[in-house]
Amino acid sequence: MRLIVFMNNSTVNNKDMGDQSEFERLLEEDASYSPANLRRGEIRNAIILEIKEREIIVDLGAKQDGIVRSEDLERLDDNFRASLKVADEVPVYILNPRDADDNLVVSINMGLQRYDWEKARELLETEEVDTVRVTGSNRGGILVRWRRLEGFIPSSHLTSVNLSNDRRDPAADLLGKELIVKVIEVEQDRRRLIFSEREAQKEWRAQQKARLLSELKEGDIVRGTVTGLRDFGAFVNLGGADGLIHVSELAWHRVDHPRDVLRVGDEIDVYVLTLDRDSNRIALSRKRLLPYPWEDAATRYHEGQLVEGTVTNVVDFGAFVALDNGLEGLLHLSEMGDGSLKEPYSYVKKGDRLQLRVSHLEPEKRRVGFTQRWGTDAETAAAGGEAPAGGEAPAGGEAPAPAAPEASSETPADQAPADQAADTGEGENAS
């Protein structure tokens, strides 16, 4: 026996309407499905439903699909835009939950910027450097583009150009160029992203110094450029990082100030004395690459020999004079001129070139003395008058012992140790 049930159209329609009403009720109960509950500025993940020539339709899981307009698509990188396809998941930024035409307008470009903000915060924490492209300038600094974000470099953090000079638009030379920068401030809510070129240079120098310290060995000979001169020594750039030549390591003779032997910009070879990897310091020497003046002093010089030297220092009791090969000794006050001087300052000054004679030489003790009165007493006794200063030694017989105290060319005890080294950046703006 068969049971046949007949349902009229009105019964079916009532059931369909009931199901539709139930679906609408569920949608209304879930606020996330309502465009009215989407806030401007919110970022949601969406699925691409359709890609048109002038727009892209996306599903945000709401009652209404989102529209990505053509002007937003034009801001996307060409390669990224070409890679988009249906069913891809993309982050979107809610531009307008409901515009005048009742459309839900979203932005893929601004949605992608979320990842850039996250990367910017990461760079802020790690203090790593990155590059930006200059897009413009204003009175406070220059405008830059980093990935998909607009940023700013204050003039106080610029090193490539000085915005305070007299030029009409000094930043114009930087337009379109890339700069190495460091992130110093991130405020996504205010869309504030601040960079510093100055801090990036410090970071870059620190990285370069760390690289150099890993590659260099004590005893290496490297070439560098003098970048700064201080009372205590000279800074030399070895390729992104500075090392220090202490004043006692500049020459074998006494150096009062590094400017006496070097100039900023000089390219010189240096000897790596010590490497301190804990404090990132490099100690260098110049004199270790110069001939040691006492090595052949006994065969090169003798008492009574006429020599020429440069005054390196003037003190109350005389003047220190360095020969051209670095041998340094004392010209005592009593051996200057005719020997009647009361003080040396009116007679010689630092940097003067003098002709004199070796009065006493002790290579084993590294001591040498000079005089301008060689043979004066002997000639005076023979001729009854004063001989010219610097006259020849009398023939036959040994030269009289000098009246001046003997001087040592060794580095004075009050000079600081040679191994003092420079930290990163100390050579900047030194004069």
3.40.50.1100, 3.30.420.40, 2.40.50.140, 3.30.70.2340: CATH of 216-289:
2.40.50.140
pLDDT of residue 409: 44
What is the spatial distance between Cα 259 and Cα 257, in angstroms, rounded to a whole number? 5
Helix (H) or strand (E) holding 89: strand 89-96
pLDDT of residue 232: 92
When comparing pLDDT for 244 and 33, which is higher?
A: 244
pLDDT of residue 80: 80
When comparing pLDDT for 369 and 418, which is higher?
A: 369
pLDDT of residue 205: 78
162 and 141 in contact (C-beta within 8 Å)?
A: no
pLDDT of residue 203: 79
**Exposed/middle/buried for 164, CB within 10 Å: 0-12, 13-18, 19+?**
exposed
What is the spatial distance between Cα 146 and Cα 92, in angstroms, rounded to a whole number? 20
For 250-318, give the secondary structure using H, E and C: CCCCCCCCHHHCCCCCCEEEEEEEEEECCCCEEEEECHHHCCCCCCCHHHHCCCCCEEEEEEEEEECCE
Question: What is the phi/psi pair of residue 299, to 5°?
Answer: -95, -20
230 confidence band (pLDDT: 50, 70, 90): very high
42-51, 200-209, 330-339, 360-369: segment of lowest average pLDDT: 200-209
List 46's β-bridge partners, or say none.
90
Sequence letter at residue 20? Q
229 and 262 in contact (C-beta within 8 Å)?
A: yes
pLDDT of residue 417: 42
pLDDT of residue 129: 87
Asked if pLDDT for residue 185 goes beyond 90, the answer is yes
**CATH no. for 33-112:** 2.40.50.140
221 confidence band (pLDDT: 50, 70, 90): very high
421 and 281 in contact (C-beta within 8 Å)?
A: yes
Per-residue pLDDT tens over the stretch 88-133? 888 888 888 888 788 899 988 888 888 888 889 999 998 888 899 9
2.40.50.140, 1.10.10.10, 1.10.3470.10, 3.40.50.300: CATH of 301-383:
2.40.50.140
115-119, 203-207, 246-250: segment of lowest average pLDDT: 203-207
Asked if pLDDT for residue 183 goes beyond 90, the answer is yes
pLDDT of residue 247: 92
43 confidence band (pLDDT: 50, 70, 90): confident
13-27, 81-95, 269-283: segment of lowest average pLDDT: 13-27
Token pair of 403, please? Answer: 């009246």
* Chain-centre distance for alpha carbon 60: 48
375 confidence band (pLDDT: 50, 70, 90): low
pLDDT of residue 403: 41
What are the residue ranges of CATH 2.40.50.140 in the chain? 33-112, 127-197, 216-289, 301-383
Asked if pLDDT for residue 40 goes beyond 90, the answer is no
Per-residue pLDDT tens over the stretch 386-430? 444 433 333 333 344 444 444 444 444 344 444 444 454 444 444
Please compute, for residue 281, the number of CA atoms within 13 A of its CA located in the half-sphere on the CB side.
15
Average pLDDT, the chain: 77
Per-residue pLDDT tens over the stretch 139-165? 888 899 988 888 999 988 988 776 665
Please compute, for residue 338, the number of CA atoms within 13 A of its CA located in the half-sphere on the CB side.
7
Full-prediction pTM beyond 0.85?
no
pLDDT of residue 413: 38
When comparing pLDDT for 355 and 11, which is higher?
A: 355
CB atoms within 10 A of CB 286: 24
List 144's β-bridge partners, or say none.
134, 151
Residues 6+ apart with CB under 8 A from 114: 43, 91, 93
- Looking only at the bridges linking them, the beta strands covering 242-246 and 281-285 are parallel
What is the spatial distance between Cα 359 and Cα 228, in angstroms, rounded to a whole number? 39
Token pair of 262, please? Answer: 């070097």
**CATH no. for 127-197:** 2.40.50.140
pLDDT of residue 267: 93
